[in-house]
Chains A and B, each alone.
Chain A
Amino acid sequence: MVVGHEEIAAAPPGATQKARVRAGFFLTAALAAALCLGGCISLPQSEALYAAAPAGLPERAELANVPRHRQDDFLCGPAALASVFNAADVPATVESLTPMVYLPGRQGSLQAEMLGTTRRAGLVAYKLAPEFEAVLREVAAGTPVVVLINLALRLFPIWHYAVIIGYDLERGRVVLISGNREREEFGLGFFEYLWQDSGYWAMVALAPGRLPATAREPEFAASVAALERIGNPAAARESYRALLARWPASLPGLFGLGNVEYALGDPAAAERAFRRASEAHPQSAPAFNNLAHTLAELGRLAEAEAAARTAVALGGPALEEAQKTLEAILQRR
């Protein structure tokens, strides 16, 4: 077995043996559970898929060119991310991602850090709706999906990240990359059984400017805002534009676009975005506040004052900020 990582080298020497002992324990526990469980497992999502294929979804799809990454013990998080980053044209390896996402003390990777590491790679981390159909739609649109599955029992979980790269509804199969297995096929029901313990957790890593096939406006806007927040306004700008191409009046979309244009040193473009926001959402005090601030920056003080007065008149939680903006403008006039 290849052990290429100092984190692994530093792990207690008995770790692998412990895993085997645990596996033996699971055999007993699982058989016991199987005997009492007979017929109690409910797999609503795959049953719905078997019953009727979702409208507009191709019967089968498989992404042929998703790179595989060999994975040593415990490193399925970095390996899964490396595959989906590569698919989004971002160079990454298990070695480069391990220090960003692997947590030695837990011998694994946390879900939040899978999302955070995706942002650090300059990609939009988008959590899918907890639905089988959403995963299949993303794959059909060409995006591999990272899922969190439980390989053991609910009471004694062994959590594992895998990458869904294909499906076949006629044969009732999903295709995935898991651990060192380059191509694995699971039945839809069996996969749902493994997947449901994580609350059907699934994420995609999207290149800037790419809209997920199953994008929901508030969730996608929040995903882009998270990328903006960690200091990547250029990537966020592309994705806000994609969001606005689909939802032209989106308040977080217009607002976010204005803020990143401003951060990128283009107050004229920021002013256009905030103006669109204030026209589409005349009740939004933050939109008028930011419009006023940007107009003042451009030296258009009369318009800035009018916008600031509107923001103050609208009041609400932004009132304090709006008053400060108005005072600052009045001092300059």
Chain B
Amino acid sequence: MSTSFVRLVSRLLVVCMIALPFQAHAGLIGTDEVISATQAAAARDTVASFLNRSDVSGQLQALGLSARDAKDRVAALTDAEVAKLAGQIESLPAGAGSDGAALILILLIVWLVWWLATKK
């Protein structure tokens, strides 16, 4: 059985186990749903969001986090933030800088470029 098929099935199971019981609950409508443009979109997003969250959590683990840390970190993100990260963690900006000497050198160069380019 192919890995991608196993991943698809296990994701669908995760969605069924986690998302569907909440869907069937009568009660308060969450604040998120009023903030989303329309509730229909919010309901659709629930499934997409669970898929994205498991996706991002897996990527974070591949980049060196423990399963527990990855789960806690993903839980702190909004659906929109998770959707943006899904599949893009490798390419989105990760602010770092570098050690002091290189930083000063780079800034000097960039300043030089900027000065040359903007002087009238």
The answer to whether A and B interact is: yes
Residue A157 CB within 8 A of the other chain: yes
If A77-B96, A317-B38 touch, does A112 touch B84 (CB 8 Å cutoff)?
Answer: yes
- A34 touching B112, Cβ below 8 Å: yes
- A103 touching B35, Cβ below 8 Å: no
| Across-interface contacts of B105 in A (CB, < 8 A) | 23, 27
Task: Name the residue of chain A whose CB is nearest to the CB of B105.
Answer: A23
Residue B14 CB within 8 A of the other chain: no
A255 to chain B, nearest CB (A): 5
Of B75, B92, B98, the residue contacting A74 (CB under 8 A) is B98
B50 to chain A, nearest CB (A): 14
- A27 touching B109, Cβ below 8 Å: yes
Q: Which of under 10, 10 to 19, 20 to 34, or 35 or more describes the interface residues of A?
A: 35 or more
Task: Name the residue of chain B whose CB is nearest to the CB of A80.
Answer: B95
Residue A214 CB within 8 A of the other chain: no
If A193-B114, A317-B43 touch, does A107 touch B31 (CB 8 Å cutoff)?
Answer: no
Of A22, A112, A158, A262, the residue contacting B28 (CB under 8 A) is A262
Residue B118 CB within 8 A of the other chain: yes
| Across-interface contacts of A294 in B (CB, < 8 A) | 28
Residue B47 CB within 8 A of the other chain: no
Residue B1 CB within 8 A of the other chain: no
- A151 touching B97, Cβ below 8 Å: yes
| Across-interface contacts of A132 in B (CB, < 8 A) | none
Of A43, A108, A112, the residue contacting B81 (CB under 8 A) is A112
| Across-interface contacts of A64 in B (CB, < 8 A) | none
Bound-state CA distance A16–B101 (Å) is 11
A interface SS class = helix
| Across-interface contacts of B75 in A (CB, < 8 A) | 230
- A74 touching B96, Cβ below 8 Å: yes
Task: Name the residue of chain B whose CB is nearest to the CB of A18.
Answer: B98
Residue A76 CB within 8 A of the other chain: yes
| 16 cross-chain CB contacts under 8 A | A27-B109, A39-B120, A74-B97, A116-B77, A148-B95, A151-B106, A151-B107, A189-B114, A221-B35, A252-B31, A256-B34, A289-B29, A290-B28, A317-B39, A318-B33, A325-B26
- Chain A residues close to B by CB (< 8 Å): 1, 7, 16, 19-20, 22-23, 26-27, 30-31, 33-35, 37-41, 43, 71, 73-77, 80, 99-100, 103-117, 119-120, 148, 150-152, 157-161, 178-180, 189-190, 193-194, 198, 218, 221-222, 225-226, 228-230, 251-252, 255-256, 259, 262, 284, 286, 289-290, 293-294, 316-318, 321, 324-325, 327-328
